[in-house]
Amino acid sequence: MRIDKFLHAMRIGTRTQVRRLIKDGQITTNGEPVISGKQQINPGSDVVCLDDVQVRYQEYFYYVMNKPLGVITATTDSSAKTVMDLFNKTDFRDDLFPVGRLDKDTEGILVITNDGALSHALMSPAHHVTKLYEAEVTGEITAEQLATFNAGITLKDGTLLKPAEAELVAFHEIENFTTIRIAIHEGKYHQVKRMVGTLGERVVELKRIKFGSLALPIGLLAGNYRALTDDELQALKADAEQPVAE
């Protein structure tokens, strides 16, 4: 791997800035000054330093975001703000992408990475991870109504859904709405909203609070993100290896 490409990938600077660092003698490899950006290195074994501080190689990056309302789950869009627009310049990489999606009017937990293999495993029908939502729904929803979701229901358009776990959180009598939680094991279009629609009601607020074993971190405000911890990442990888329960 060319050292200038390595330094750029590790967010040391733009290609122009990296060339300047090399020219100024600030970059060394295994203790020797680098004189050309074309110099080949092995990121796994060679020690690259900037001003005597080692630049450690990292191939994959993993973040958890609390997606806010009004932002679309995409890498780029010509007219709308995307989740990638919420990243600061230090953390942003053009190879990052969201795992799955949340609707523009849905908030909550979202995983963002550049690890394509993990993303594919998490979203594959063979390993589709459980996603837990909290919803505010018009009217009064009863526990008996929610129990119908547990056996799997058929949507109005004939789509047959897998069993989902739904529970009643609270009925707010004065405002006349119900808070419920629904855990689903697939990713049909507008699934939670369409499920609630079979009860003759509609979702007015929807938030994803858990993705696989990864819960929305306490204190992570809407629009903010942070790197996954090692434990969180290992648990997420374990989720990706679990077959879907029949």
Where does the pLDDT of residue 213 fall: very low under 50, low under 70, confident under 90, or very high at 90 and above?
very high
Each residue of 81-120: pLDDT tens digit? 999 999 998 899 889 999 988 999 999 999 999 999 999 9
Q: Which domains are assigned to the chain?
A: 3-54 (3.10.290.10), 62-126+213-241 (3.30.70.580), 131-211 (3.30.70.1560)
Sheet with 48-50, side-by-side order of all strands: 32-33, 27-29, 48-50, 53-54
pTM: 0.86
Q: Exactly one of 91, 103, 115, 239 is catalytic; which is it?
A: 103
Residue 123 bridge partners (DSSP): none
Q: Are 113 and 62 in contact (CB under 8 A)?
A: yes
Distance between terminal CA atoms of the chain? 45
Please, what is the Cα angle at 77 between 75 and 79, to 5 degrees? 155
Where does the pLDDT of residue 242 fall: very low under 50, low under 70, confident under 90, or very high at 90 and above?
confident
103 is annotated as an active-site residue: yes
Report the chain's mean pLDDT, rounded to a whole number: 93
* Residue 213 DSSP one-character state: T
The helix or strand, by DSSP H or E, that contains position 226, with its residue range, turns out to be strand 225-227
Whether 190 has a pLDDT exceeding 80, the answer reads yes
In this prediction, residue 120 carries a pLDDT of 92
In this prediction, residue 244 carries a pLDDT of 59
In this prediction, residue 243 carries a pLDDT of 65
Whether 9 has a pLDDT exceeding 90, the answer reads no
Angstrom distance (rounded) from CA 172 to CA 111: 32
Angstrom distance (rounded) from CA 196 to CA 155: 10
In this prediction, residue 234 carries a pLDDT of 96
* Residue 114 DSSP one-character state: S
Q: Count Cβ atoms within 10 A of the Cβ of residue 51 and give its class: 0-12 exposed, 13-18 middle, 19 or more buried.
A: exposed
Whether 246 has a pLDDT exceeding 60, the answer reads no
Angstrom distance (rounded) from CA 225 to CA 109: 9
The string of DSSP codes covering 71-111 is: -BSSS--SSS-BGGGGS-TTT--TT-EESS---TT-EEEEE
Whether 245 has a pLDDT exceeding 80, the answer reads no
Structure tokens at 116: 């394509």
In this prediction, residue 128 carries a pLDDT of 74
